[in-house]
Amino acid sequence: MWIWPPPLNTAASLSMRPPPTPSPPPSTGSLFLPPWPGTSLRPMLPSKPTLAVLGFGKVGSEVARRAKGLGMNVIAHDPYAPADRARAIGVELVGFDEAISSADFISLHMPLTAATSKMLNDETFAKMKKGVLSELKPFVDLAEKLGRLAVQLVAGGSGVKTVKVTYATARAPDDLDTRLLRAMITKGLIEPISSVFVNLVNADFTAKQRGLRITEERVILDGSPENPLEFIQVQIANVESRFASAISDSGEIKVEGRVKDGIPHLTKVGSFDVDVSLEGSIILCRQVDQPGMIGKVGSVLGEENVNVSFMSVGRIAPRKQAVMAIGVDETPSKESLKKIGDIPAVEELVFLKL
């Protein structure tokens, strides 16, 4: 499934853009679109791409009519739409699963209700046709979760003003568009400390409104460009931290992560290397590196029926300071966190909700 280019207004984009120019000739049955902005990737679509209109009211039907005028095959899903209106403009009404699995483009025109909320989710995205954005999916999740982790490490949270994001990649600069990743990091930074809903359209504006300055840097690595990114790093400057070990040698809160087997992982906190899946929530615990610590912490959580999904320990050197990153499926009680904090070798801990 393609969204091409990222539209601010689907109806306007359909009405103003001419049909894609066939290349090679139409006899090959394919169309080549212009490169995705900021990349050299050129997707190929069928010679008559299919648009699925979700919600066939006044706006949805007008989008469908204009798309038909551009030579597109149009299907629609709307359980309340009259079939005669669809037939009048040559549109076939289909079920939801058929619409999302058949479409090259999807145009959404449904009201936000209890029934439509989160209608497009991981399960439905998995049913869509694969495209350029599909390879970024796990990195989009990683970006948002790193933002959420970083802002929760700030003492007070709302004082965040300066953020630096580093993308490490083996790809050429023109082959990676980071706008979506930046938007998701912004979402992760802002939503936990406000009532604002952040998305791709309003992310930059929302950050500017709150005085949040996000700078981006790319580190070009040697190696295979098969993966879009090797890691993403988020740093927050000029703040105090709830977890002192998250402060890097240069004085900023720093978290870093990468995608492993399609799953986002936290791989660095401050100067400590860790490796924990970003699923559920996380307890970060700094302690003196000594035998039995993993067992003691695990026992406290086990007594509270909190399931540990992952655990990783990063240390400076044997018997020195170490940071334990613990992935948990449930939210531990304040009492269980206090019990962990009361273990003599534990120096600090923080619970972070994803």
CA 58 to mean position of chain CA atoms: 32
Residue ranges of domains in the chain, CATH in brackets: 10-123 (3.40.50.720), 131-270 (3.30.1330.90), 281-354 (3.30.70.260)
- Written as tens digits, the pLDDT of the chain (354 aa) is 444 334 333 333 333 334 444 443 333 344 444 554 545 444 444 568 899 999 999 999 999 999 999 889 999 999 999 999 999 999 999 999 999 999 988 999 998 888 888 888 878 888 888 765 667 889 999 999 999 999 999 998 668 999 999 999 998 877 778 888 999 999 999 999 999 999 888 999 999 999 999 999 999 998 878 888 999 999 999 999 999 999 999 999 999 999 999 999 999 999 999 999 998 899 999 999 999 999 999 999 999 999 999 899 998 889 899 999 999 999 999 999 999 999 999 999 999 998
Residue 334 and residue 295 in contact, taking contact as beta carbons nearer than 8 Å: no
Residue whose tokens read 């853009």: 17
- Edge-to-edge strand ranges of the sheet holding 50-54: 92-93, 73-77, 50-54, 105-108
CA atoms within 13 A on the CB side of 32: 8
Q: What is the DSSP string of 117-184?
A: TT-SSHHHHHHSPP-GGGGGHHHHHHHHHHHHHHHHTBSSSTT--EEEEEEEESS-GGG---HHHHHH
pLDDT at 35 (0 to 100): 52
Helix (H, G, I), strand (E, B) or coil at 253: strand
CA 27 to mean position of chain CA atoms: 39
pTM of the model: 0.71
Q: How far apart are CA 280 and CA 257, in angstroms?
A: 15
Q: How far apart are CA 260 and CA 263, in angstroms?
A: 5
Q: How far apart are CA 301 and CA 295, in angstroms?
A: 10
Helix (H, G, I), strand (E, B) or coil at 275: strand
Contacts of 121 (CB under 8 A, 6+ apart): none
Here the tokens at position 253 are: 């809160």
- Edge-to-edge strand ranges of the sheet holding 281-288: 308-315, 321-328, 281-288, 346-353
pLDDT at 29 (0 to 100): 41
pLDDT at 225 (0 to 100): 82
pLDDT at 172 (0 to 100): 82
Backbone dihedral angles phi then psi of residue 258, each to the nearest 5 degrees: -145, 170
Taking the alpha carbons at both ends of the chain, their separation in whole angstroms is: 28
Beta strand residue intervals within 182-294, DSSP E: 213-220, 231-237, 253-260, 263-269, 272-277, 281-288
pLDDT at 47 (0 to 100): 61
Backbone dihedral angles phi then psi of residue 275, each to the nearest 5 degrees: -155, 95
pLDDT at 122 (0 to 100): 78
Residue 282 and residue 149 in contact, taking contact as beta carbons nearer than 8 Å: yes
